[in-house]
Amino acid sequence: MPSYTAPVRDMQFILHELLKIDRYQDVLSGFAEATPDTIAAILEGAAQISQEVLQPLNRVGDREGCRLENGKIITPTGFKEAYAAVIEGGWTGLIGDPEYGGQGLPYVLGLAVSEMMASANMAFTMYPGLTSGAMEAIEIGGTDQQKALYLPKMISGQWTGTMNLTEPHCGTDLGLLRTKAEPQSDGSYRVTGTKIFISAGEHDLAENIIHLVLARIPGGPDGVKGISLFIVPKFLVNPDGSLGDRNAVSCGSIEEKMGIHGNATCVMNYDGAVGYLIGEAHKGLRTMFIMMNAARLGVAVQGLSQAEVAYQNAVAYCKDRLQGRALAGAKYPDKPADPIIVHPDIRRMLMTVKVFQEGARALAYWAGLQVDIIRKHPDPETRRKAEDVLGLLTPVMKAYFTDTGFTAANLCLQCFGGHGYIAEWGMEQFVRDARIAQIYEGANGIQALDLVGRKLPANKGRAIQLFFALVGGFCEKYEDNAALSPFIRPLTEALERLVEATQWLMQHAISNPDNGGAVSTDYLYMMALVTLGYQWAQVARICENQLSNPDDDSFDRQFYRNKLVAAQFFMEKVLPETMAHLAKIQAGADSLMALSAEAF
Amino acid sequence: MPSYTAPVRDMQFILHELLKIDRYQDVLSGFAEATPDTIAAILEGAAQISQEVLQPLNRVGDREGCRLENGKIITPTGFKEAYAAVIEGGWTGLIGDPEYGGQGLPYVLGLAVSEMMASANMAFTMYPGLTSGAMEAIEIGGTDQQKALYLPKMISGQWTGTMNLTEPHCGTDLGLLRTKAEPQSDGSYRVTGTKIFISAGEHDLAENIIHLVLARIPGGPDGVKGISLFIVPKFLVNPDGSLGDRNAVSCGSIEEKMGIHGNATCVMNYDGAVGYLIGEAHKGLRTMFIMMNAARLGVAVQGLSQAEVAYQNAVAYCKDRLQGRALAGAKYPDKPADPIIVHPDIRRMLMTVKVFQEGARALAYWAGLQVDIIRKHPDPETRRKAEDVLGLLTPVMKAYFTDTGFTAANLCLQCFGGHGYIAEWGMEQFVRDARIAQIYEGANGIQALDLVGRKLPANKGRAIQLFFALVGGFCEKYEDNAALSPFIRPLTEALERLVEATQWLMQHAISNPDNGGAVSTDYLYMMALVTLGYQWAQVARICENQLSNPDDDSFDRQFYRNKLVAAQFFMEKVLPETMAHLAKIQAGADSLMALSAEAF
């Protein structure tokens, strides 16, 4: 059976040493409260509930799945009690607005907590995760009255939330959406239509579910410009917050899926359900997309989370499993064989995952801090820059972290040999669970299009120029530092390749839009690699700095040395992939577009 | 529900136009019988049984799995009837030795048939597949009497076979094997021990199962030099071939696995079971490894098979699913949206899979032809060369085809968006089924070690020199051909990189054996890419040749043109990966081996 230990030390390193979040104590609200002691207590508390409550239910959820009986969904054994423990611990309100009962702590801290919970039990964590998304939409687009009515009980976890976008014939292309919302004389709407793939659409964990639903108000514009966003509660809510009638929304069936069996993926039928417009009519996608950007960061962290837990279990197995001898001679001659962690190819797999998840964690938390800055920083210029770079990197993180999270879980499965394929070891569940993250919240190909088609050209390339200045400035600053040269030199080269790819795009994507689409995924990967390289180079700088203090003989010296090895591995064994991506980009779209559809 | 149509046209192209197997009509036995008409009839017949009998059972097998009841295994609904149809059609004896009732047809033709069956139903196909492996061991190591006793009924499919290597504590490292075989006065042995992961170890498809079991004869040498191979029939066989007593071998339990649910993966208990030594005592691994080399080619084809069937279904979905508009403007303005096959990133995924499976098919069938040459060619030098190159490329194909087959099935799932994650579409089964092939018959990391540690240095590098001469000679021959230049130039560059990587290995792996292990997988991938590039360059040459004939206005012109586009895609969008692999190789083992085991 797999286990999970939250990587608290690495999280602390990122928050305090890499991001130095104490810099923001006097600048960002909630950061003063996030003292090192508070952070330590929160991380330990989240680790405890993740390890002791959520992780033991991960396999239960996979085995039992959810059942639909008489329109009600029964979640797997233990999920109800675990959810009660999560809200009892205040975890659903950690970063919530204090005005509505939240603790108002930094978003970046909430991200660390959500990583732990997702590592422990991804399917379970989606119930509160979807609530966060729904809350955010209400925060962005809701009236004060709507906020006051819904947010407190969602923050407390008493109610959960969902997002309803997809319909059977329309996933990515929301312009095809048909669900309609007919205005009523009392200002409400009647929502009718079918939504599919609704995670946590129905369940027995909470007393009410607040559905956020995209629908068309008849007479509005066609396509994406006529879509509005509605609040459709499972139970109508009286003005005093008490529950009223059951609304005409129901779960028609649940999907049998490859993974995340513990989370109910519902077909939701809206049969003239009472709904309340949120934000402006026909402008629903605007709110939805703001919220989805944050959700995409959350999904990126899910990718990382499955890599982390799979890695831990693979490491334990590789230290334990005796098979063969080290190539340079037996390491443990007294044992019948050496543990397989002595084998270089096993280490190649483990190191590949290690540098991914540690680097991705650093980047994800940096991104989380940008969310705090965007939401709370007093200086508009600082907020704008954070928004630019975060907007640029959100699709990159979503796609790269989930693709690589899946690959990483697979590498970890591979370390187990035949046992990895056997259900009881739990490794194959990580792979199946991780797989969804490459698809939902916008399939990864859509992320690449978002990057190349929208984020890159926006504001005449302001965001990418800022990014180049950031990474390039760092490289220049340390280019003469001999100790850092093994990190700065490859990063500089990779950045040059990315600049070259960007120039290629600028020259070729306008004349032939297919060129942009054809190279978008390669470009996204290049940017991901450069960005992770930048994280590792910063990590290396900090560690070199710490180790250069000869008086410090603390236990942590080994921690810093290990980080330097990991950074070296990233530069030598991962970053060279930028070469192949550049070459593929420069080949353009011709060989992709030449075949007729029939020729496939 | 997924469907499957055997790619007969591509198979014909490879057999007749690329491999020109009619060259061997007078040289290799069985090839005279394999006339174009016979080949066409066999391919059509195999396509029919695969499409109509095996494919409809693929999902049934996945859903139902196998059940163990009172020591007996019940295979999924329909498997028994399907197996009866397979043996009735003579498919188990297609390439079998005519002396024992086989049809003696070319091995390469059998490979094409096995690809179809595996595409249609991988779990089912493993039952006859394992029999082929067991038969081969008997053919290699058995006495005439053993051959006469067992082969006819295995060729006819009346009996099946298994291979028993793995024990709970010993998978890759067979030196740790404990199962013992005690000699009896009648020349037989009593075999005692537990074997795990035994595919098709018990089932209800055939009246007898011939287990091939690795065990130690007490008093023999320790480690791998004291392992012998035994025939252990489920029912003892009387000298006249009739069934005798039930032997003391039984299935203790079956594994719950990620995929291939239709195939029973058994824990086999041998409790003093009667066994018969096959080949020399203590030399059992030799026979086992000869057989495993052929089995590895079969597993490579499994990787390809899942890519093919996943591809077909992804293509159908992408032509059907309407979502969004082509980047350069609507292609089907009369429809509510364009089919997603217009999108370059969708095409990137489909083309990646297409060039993999078509290229891999060409290479696999070439390898199948080498097996025929090795077994049947009168000239020892020709046999020796075939053996050298096939030995070199077998681990390459096993690892690369199964890794890429899995990745390919995943890309095809991705084309379905959310629907790909839903069980009823069948795409996620291809992914789960394909996953095992990366592990069994030697995990892919072991294939890489076999390549770098054994095949490369064997006979002072004779095989790799032959390989370089083969590919290099081809490049030189056509280097001045302008029409072929888009194919020859990138292949030449990739070959140069591979030569460079080989030189690096020669210089660095002896001084530090960890260097060999550290770069083995990257080296294997480079070799796979160059070898597939060589296949595609040959395909391009043939197609250019056909198209340069202005009088030919046959329907097939489009086939050749499409192949040229695919070859271009491979050169531009796949082969550049050799750059990254070379850079990673040249970084050596340092960053992999620096960490202590505790630091992971």
For the residues of B141-165, what is the DSSP string, one character each? Answer: H--HHHHHHHHHHHHTTSEEEEEE-
Give the distance from residue B573's alpha carbon to the nearest chain A alpha carbon, in angstroms: 5
Residue (of B505, B501, B518) closest to B578 by Cα position:
B501
Q: Which domain holds residue B435?
A: 287-447
Q: Which three-class secondary structure string do you get for B538-596?
A: HHHHHHHHHHCCCCCCCCHHHHHHHHHHHHHHHHHHHCCHHHHHHHHHHCCCHHHHCCC
Q: Does residue A398 sit at the B interface (CB-CB below 8 Å)? A: no
Q: Does residue B264 sit at the A interface (CB-CB below 8 Å)? A: no
Residue type (1 letter), B194? T
Query: How far is the C-alpha of A57 from the C-alpha of B588, rounded, in Å?
Result: 42
A128-142, A533-547, A551-565, B98-112, range with the lowest pLDDT: A551-565
A-chain residues near B196 (CB < 8 A): 418
Q: Do B445 and A517 touch (CB under 8 A)?
A: no
Are B262 and B66 a contacting pair, CB within 8 Å?
yes
What are the phi and psi torsion angles at B124 (to 5°)? -65, -45
Residue type (1 letter), B387? E
Q: Does residue B180 sit at the A interface (CB-CB below 8 Å)? A: no
Verify that A436 and A490 share a domain, yes or no: no
Average pLDDT, chain B: 97
Model confidence at A289: pLDDT above 90: no
DSSP string across B199-255: ETSS-SSSSEEEEEEEEEPTTS-SGGGGEEEEEEESEEE-TTS-EEEEPSEEEEEE-
Query: How far is the C-alpha of B411 from the C-alpha of B426, rounded, in Å?
Result: 14
Q: Does residue A411 sit at the B interface (CB-CB below 8 Å)? A: no
Model confidence at A346: pLDDT above 70: yes
CATH of the domain at B305: 1.20.140.10
Model confidence at B553, pLDDT cuts 50, 70, 90, reads low
A-chain residues near B558 (CB < 8 A): 599
Residue type (1 letter), A17? E
DSSP string across A500-518: HHHHHHHHHTTT-HHHHHH
- Quick check: is A569 in a domain? yes
Q: Do A591 and B259 touch (CB under 8 A)?
A: no
Give the three-state DSSP class for B194. Answer: strand
Q: Do A572 and B591 touch (CB under 8 A)?
A: yes
Q: Do A171 and B569 touch (CB under 8 A)?
A: no
Residue % of chain A over a pLDDT of 90: 96
In a mutational test of the B interface, the residue from A573, A575, A584 whose CB has the highest number of chain B CBs within 10 Å is A573
Verify that A415 and A294 share a domain, yes or no: yes
Give the three-state DSSP class for A456. Answer: coil
Q: Does residue A328 sit at the B interface (CB-CB below 8 Å)? A: yes
Q: Please identify every residue of A annotated as catalytic.
A: 441
Query: How far is the C-alpha of B275 from the C-alpha of B448, rounded, in Å?
Result: 34
Query: How far is the C-alpha of A66 from the C-alpha of A46, rounded, in Å?
Result: 25
Tokens standing for residue B174 = 């067979």
Tokens standing for residue B564 = 């040229």
Query: How far is the C-alpha of B346 from the C-alpha of A588, rounded, in Å?
Result: 15
Q: Does residue B423 sit at the A interface (CB-CB below 8 Å)? A: yes
- Quick check: is B73 in a domain? no
With the CA atoms of B292, B293, B298 and B303 taken in that order, what torsion angle do they form, in degrees rounded to the nearest 10?
100
Q: Does residue B22 sit at the A interface (CB-CB below 8 Å)? A: no
pLDDT confidence of residue B550: 72
- Quick check: is A359 in a domain? yes
- Quick check: is A580 in a domain? yes
The radius of gyration of chain B's CA atoms, rounded to the nearest angstrom, is 24
The string of pLDDT tens digits covering residues B281-338 is 999 999 988 888 889 999 999 999 999 999 999 999 999 999 999 998 999 999 999 9
A-chain residues near B163 (CB < 8 A): none
Residue (of A266, A270, A267) closest to A66 by Cα position:
A266
Chain B (296-315) residues lying within 8 Å, Cβ to Cβ, of chain A: 315
Q: Does residue A423 sit at the B interface (CB-CB below 8 Å)? A: yes
Give the distance from residue A162's alpha carbon to the nearest chain B alpha carbon, in angstroms: 17
Model confidence at A294, pLDDT cuts 50, 70, 90, reads confident
Give the distance from residue B70's alpha carbon to the nearest chain A alpha carbon, in angstroms: 22
- Quick check: is A396 in a domain? yes
pLDDT confidence of residue A553: 66
Q: Does residue B457 sit at the A interface (CB-CB below 8 Å)? A: no
CB nearest B600 (choices: A315, A322, A587): A315
Q: Do B172 and A324 touch (CB under 8 A)?
A: yes
The string of pLDDT tens digits covering residues A507-557 is 999 889 999 999 999 999 999 999 999 999 999 999 999 999 877 667 689
pLDDT confidence of residue B440: 96
A-chain residues near B436 (CB < 8 A): 421
In a mutational test of the B interface, the residue from A126, A323, A327 whose CB has the highest number of chain B CBs within 10 Å is A327
Model confidence at A291: pLDDT above 90: no
Q: Does residue B489 sit at the A interface (CB-CB below 8 Å)? A: no
Verify that A462 and A409 share a domain, yes or no: no
Model confidence at B479, pLDDT cuts 50, 70, 90, reads very high
Q: Which residue, of A415, A446, A477, is where some domain finishes?
A: A446
Model confidence at B114: pLDDT above 80: yes
Verify that A442 and A464 share a domain, yes or no: no
Residue (of B38, B259, B171) closest to B441 by Cα position:
B171
Query: How far is the C-alpha of A516 from the C-alpha of A519, rounded, in Å?
Result: 6
Q: Which residue, of B447, B478, B505, is where some domain finishes?
A: B447
Verify that B395 and B329 share a domain, yes or no: yes
- Quick check: is A226 in a domain? no
Q: Do A569 and B583 touch (CB under 8 A)?
A: no
- Quick check: is A155 in a domain? no
Give the three-state DSSP class for A271. Answer: strand
Cβ–Cβ contacts within 10 Å for residue A504, how many?
17
B-chain residues near A589 (CB < 8 A): 344
Average pLDDT, chain A: 97
Q: Does residue A176 sit at the B interface (CB-CB below 8 Å)? A: yes
Query: How far is the C-alpha of B150 from the C-alpha of B138, rounded, in Å?
Result: 8
Verify that A388 and A507 share a domain, yes or no: no
Verify that A428 and A530 share a domain, yes or no: no
Chain B (505-564) residues lying within 8 Å, Cβ to Cβ, of chain A: 512-514, 516-518, 520-521, 558, 562
A-chain residues near B420 (CB < 8 A): 439
Verify that A493 and A585 share a domain, yes or no: yes
* Inter-CA distances, B523 with A479, A501, B263, B449, Å: 32, 27, 33, 10
Q: Do B172 and A349 touch (CB under 8 A)?
A: no
Model confidence at A44: pLDDT above 90: yes
Query: How far is the C-alpha of A213 from the C-alpha of A249, rounded, in Å?
Result: 11
Residue (of B109, B125, B103) closest to B43 by Cα position:
B109
Verify that B567 and B543 share a domain, yes or no: yes
The string of pLDDT tens digits covering residues B345-392 is 999 999 999 999 999 999 999 999 999 999 999 999 999 999 999 999
Q: Which residue, of B406, B421, B447, is where some domain finishes?
A: B447
A-chain residues near B353 (CB < 8 A): none
In a mutational test of the B interface, the residue from A176, A340, A348, A430 whose CB has the highest number of chain B CBs within 10 Å is A348
DSSP string across A114-180: HHHHHHH-HHHHHHHHHHHHHHHHHHHH--HHHHHHHHHHHHTTSEEEEEE--BTTBSS-GGG---E
% helix / strand / coil in chain B, to the nearest 5?
60, 15, 25
Q: Does residue B422 sit at the A interface (CB-CB below 8 Å)? A: yes
Model confidence at B239: pLDDT above 70: yes
Are B29 and B98 a contacting pair, CB within 8 Å?
no
Buried b (16+ CB within 10 A) or exposed e, A188-202: bbbbbbbbbbbbbbb
Residue (of A529, A531, A542) closest to A478 by Cα position:
A542
% helix / strand / coil in chain A, to the nearest 5?
60, 15, 25
Are B200 and B160 a contacting pair, CB within 8 Å?
yes
CB nearest B597 (choices: A256, A319, A589): A319
Residue % of chain A over a pLDDT of 70: 99
Query: What are the residues whose beta carbons fall under 8 Å from the beta carbon of A327, sequence distance 6 or more?
Result: A343, A344, B513, B514, B516, B517
B-chain residues near A425 (CB < 8 A): none
Mean pLDDT of the region A372-401: 97
Mean pLDDT of the region B77-82: 98
Residue (of B247, B139, B230) closest to B177 by Cα position:
B230
β-strand B227-233 against B180-183: which pairing, if any?
unpaired
A-chain residues near B258 (CB < 8 A): 421-423, 428, 431-432
Verify that A491 and A520 share a domain, yes or no: yes
- Quick check: is B313 in a domain? yes
Q: Do B448 and A345 touch (CB under 8 A)?
A: yes
Residue % of chain B over a pLDDT of 90: 96
Verify that A575 and A441 share a domain, yes or no: no
* Total of domains in chain B: 2
Give the three-state DSSP class for B9. Answer: helix
Query: How far is the C-alpha of A156 from the C-alpha of A167, rounded, in Å?
Result: 30
Mean pLDDT of the region A142-150: 97
Residue (of B157, B205, B189, B210) closest to B61 by Cα position:
B205
Chain A (191-220) residues lying within 8 Å, Cβ to Cβ, of chain B: 196-197
Verify that A531 and A575 share a domain, yes or no: yes
Q: Does residue B375 sit at the A interface (CB-CB below 8 Å)? A: no
Tell me how long chain B is. 600
